[in-house]
Amino acid sequence: MSLDFDEASRLAEQIGRSDVDDIAAILAVSNTDLDEALHAVRSEYDTIFTWDYDKGSRPKLNRLYEKAKTSMWNAETDLPWDTEVDQEKLVAEQQLMLGPPLHELVDLSGTPLAHWGEKEWIQLGIEGQNWTLSQFMHGEQGALVCTAKVVESVPWIDAKYYGATQVMDEARHVEVFAKYLDEKLSSHYPINAHLRLLLDDIIADSRWDMTFLGMQIMVEGLALAAFGFMHALTQEPLLKQLLRYVMADEARHVAFGVLALQDFYTELSGSEIRERQEFAYEAAVRMRDRFLQQEVWDRMGVSPKDVLPLTMAAPDRTAFQVMLFSKIVPNLKKLGLLDAGDGWLRQKFTELGAIQFENWADTEEEYAAFQLAKGELTTA
């Protein structure tokens, strides 16, 4: 699709390139210090106290808070950590379930993958699993930090109460993914550069609603879809149960974002809404870029620029990337961002191939379906 000069310039300013599929520009974003243990992001925002302690003045938020209090689980004791995990066998089974592999879908002649055998394809799957769980872990720490900020900056007591329960949820999620990586898988990966840039932007913004939009709607919405995909795919019982618990929490978190922003956005001007539309689109592109897994190809000894054009063109990759937005698009529509103004954001998600999800249930409507039955936590 051709863009006029102004649109191309605006897109370049938002996401760092005028062509959303520019592989060279995507790969130019990389971690410069892989040994970095601490990462500081400067943020200036108002910490808001409220002396209005009228609990329940926002009934839907209060119901989320009450549900959260009875849905806590213990990462150490509620999961079967004695489960043996054969990662090579697990990856082989998953590859069978996923259908034809890349080398059966795309002509690899003349590429670094042309002479790969079963051993290399299995190792790629292992590295991919290590990478995916590592990014889940890093993303959950981003959610932990962002939600702590939300508790400080949101002005309503019902939102502070619920946000405090989410801080505990996110700490548990970081803990559980770190434990699974350490005890059941074979290696860690550092945070993907595109994910880190997105988290930096969310944390650095001084406006509380931008934290909600970036984390609760975009990052958590994509995570909910990705967890659901992995939960359906994996046959490993510990990981399946772990993901089930995390999904129940995440659905509440996304619903929290929808409830907190829905009324607030009706008060904003057209220019303020457009700014939030652009922020949502930038977040969507950065999240899409991170799933190209360039770090995995580096670890496999293959230059990402030689293989990403092939993987990006593979039908299964395209379908997977689009499905990641299945929990985001309905929520953006519920918030009025999809069609606000001239419908700019609708056009952008149409170009990303994800607009077909707009009429799926938004998370405020469906989060109850994700909640754990009363007996589930006691039968782990």
Separation CA 333–CA 345 (nearest Å): 10
- Predicted local distance difference test score (pLDDT) of residue 92: 86
What confidence category does residue 100 fall into, taking pLDDT thresholds of 50, 70 and 90?
A: low
Chain Cα centroid distance, residue 118: 30
204-245 per-position pLDDT tens digit:
999 999 999 999 999 999 999 999 989 998 989 999 999 999
- Predicted local distance difference test score (pLDDT) of residue 1: 43
Higher-confidence residue of 47 and 376: namely 47
CATH class of the 119-380 domain in this structure: mainly alpha
What confidence category does residue 93 fall into, taking pLDDT thresholds of 50, 70 and 90?
A: confident
What is the helix, strand, coil percentage profile of the chain, to 5? 65, 0, 35
Separation CA 193–CA 220 (nearest Å): 18
pLDDT of residue 380 exceeding 50: no
340-374 per-position pLDDT tens digit:
999 999 999 999 889 999 998 888 777 777 877 54
- Predicted local distance difference test score (pLDDT) of residue 5: 52
2-38 per-position pLDDT tens digit:
455 566 566 667 777 777 877 787 777 877 777 788 9
The whole-model pTM stands at: 0.90
- Predicted local distance difference test score (pLDDT) of residue 124: 92
Residue given tokens 């080398």 in the structure block = 103
Separation CA 158–CA 105 (nearest Å): 51
pLDDT of residue 321 exceeding 70: yes
- Predicted local distance difference test score (pLDDT) of residue 370: 81
pLDDT of residue 278 exceeding 80: yes
- Predicted local distance difference test score (pLDDT) of residue 2: 47
Nearest-10 crossing angle of helices 237-265, 59-69: 160
Q: Please state, in angstroms and as integers, the Cα–Cα distance from residue 360 to each residue in 230, 329, 342, 356, 370, following that order.
A: 20, 8, 22, 8, 15
- Predicted local distance difference test score (pLDDT) of residue 22: 79
Nearest-10 crossing angle of helices 118-153, 157-184: 160
How much of the chain, in percent, has pLDDT values that exceed 90? 68
How much of the chain, in percent, has pLDDT values that exceed 70? 92
Higher-confidence residue of 375 and 43: namely 43
Share the mean pLDDT of the chain. 89
| Domain residue ranges in the chain | 119-380
Residue given tokens 């990014």 in the structure block = 135
150-181 per-position pLDDT tens digit:
999 999 999 999 999 999 999 999 999 999 99
Q: Which residues of 183-212 are buried (b: 16+ CB within 10 A; e: fewer)?
A: ebbeeebbbbbbbbbbbbbbbebeebbbbb
